[in-house]
Copies of this chain bind each other. A is one copy, B any other.
Amino acid sequence: MLDSHHDQTAMPGEQGDHSLLQLDHQLCFALYACSKEVTRLYRPLLQELGLTYTQYVTLLALWERDGEPVKSLGSRLYLDSGTLTPLLKKLESMGLVNRVRDRADERMLRVNLTEAGQAMRAKAGSIPRKLCEVTGMELRDLEALRLQLQQLNAVIQHHYEEDSEHGED
């Protein structure tokens, strides 16, 4: 116990500067904060389209693969049916998608873009460029950062795959 004197007055730099638990030293918190702040940058742009951020990335996925089942959509978006079911119902109520059971396998629900859902893609086209401008950072650096994040994510996925191979005990 190096810091056995903990008073209530919160002397700055006294309670945890040498600690592994310092907030500013946590990669997890840098990710958490950065993700939220980037999402906040999107908010006003998406508001013009009447979309939330999660609805936006769901449409990104569907613009690439129309008619995808909920399960594989969730796998790409890292979301489960508990989140996707109400979200897709919302997109349906907005007239952007249709939800139809697969006739060959009635368990699967396929999500199809409507005309309006297709049309939204053109309106969203300018968003990536606008966001880049806001940061004013080098495109090269943003790309590099993205690749590192994808690599870290891949490492984590690999970790889970290893676990399930060993027959989770």
Q: Which A residues lie at the B interface, using CB under 8 A?
A: 1, 6-10, 12, 15-16, 19-42, 53, 57, 60-61, 63-68, 76, 78, 112-113, 118, 121-122, 124-125, 127-129, 131, 134-137, 141-146, 148-150, 152-153, 155-157, 159
The listed residue (B61, B65, B136, B146) touching A30 by CB distance below 8 A is B146
Interface contact B21-A121, CB-CB below 8 Å: yes
CB distance from A166 to the nearest CB of B (A): 14
Listed from nearest, the 9 A-B pairs whose CB atoms lie closest are: A30-B149, A35-B35, A10-B65, A31-B35, A16-B64, A34-B149, A27-B146, A8-B67, A20-B128
Closest to A131 in B: B28
Closest to A132 in B: B27
A55 to B88, CA, bound (A): 30
A32 to B154, CA, bound (A): 14
The listed residue (B38, B122, B131, B156) touching A41 by CB distance below 8 A is B156
